[in-house]
Chain A
């Protein structure tokens, strides 16, 4: 019988997220302030988003390490 299912171990959970900004062939447009319509500062975004997410948003690193706490939560996901 042919094998059709490949179940990965929890240790095979990805350790990084891939960031398309490293490879995308277009220049990312700046995020604008809703009132001035000029580029926002990290301070403005910090009112809405945690700083680590802001850093991810502007990063051009190809891979962004997944925090261990998040990988722990990924383990809860059932495998469909």
Chain B
């Protein structure tokens, strides 16, 4: 049996939808990130996959680096931050971590460019169902 770590989770019974978020489909979040969020040190956000791939394409065209779809989520968040700053006329220092390349994900890029991807929102009842099976821990 595996050790138990305190983290935000959808429960180990959660079956993720096969989106192109790749490694982001794990049912939990790392213990360090969970603790930082829990104590209010960081904010978190979610971005849909179409906007994510759009940002990834922009990044590839301007920087010459094809980002991994997982990493592209944060590119999308960085783009949104920059656009918001532009709109508000603010100067912001925006740092993000490009955590991986997308050379193993070219099928996903092809699918996006052929219009085969769509945005997806996990239905609340499926989230509730997965959470129902969470064990109660002290």
A31 touches B101 (CB 8 A): no
Given A26-B39, A26-B41, A80-B103, A33 and B4 touching (CB < 8 A)?
Answer: yes
Q: Which residues of B contact A (CB under 8 A)?
A: 1-6, 31-32, 35-36, 38-39, 41, 65-66, 101, 103, 137-138
Q: What is the CA–CA distance of A33 and B1 in the complex, to the nearest angstrom?
A: 9
| Residues of A close to B138: CB separation below 8 A | 37
Q: What is the CA–CA distance of A32 and B135 in the complex, to the nearest angstrom?
A: 14
Question: How far apart are B60's CB and chain A's nearest CB, in angstroms?
Answer: 11
| Residues of A close to B41: CB separation below 8 A | 25-26
B4 touches A34 (CB 8 A): yes
Given A26-B41, A37-B137, A80-B103, A31 and B65 touching (CB < 8 A)?
Answer: no
Chain A residue at minimum C-beta to C-beta distance from B6: A29
Lowest 8 CB-CB distances: which A-B pairs, in order? A34-B1, A32-B4, A29-B6, A26-B35, A80-B101, A31-B3, A26-B39, A40-B3
| Residues of B close to A31: CB separation below 8 A | 3-5
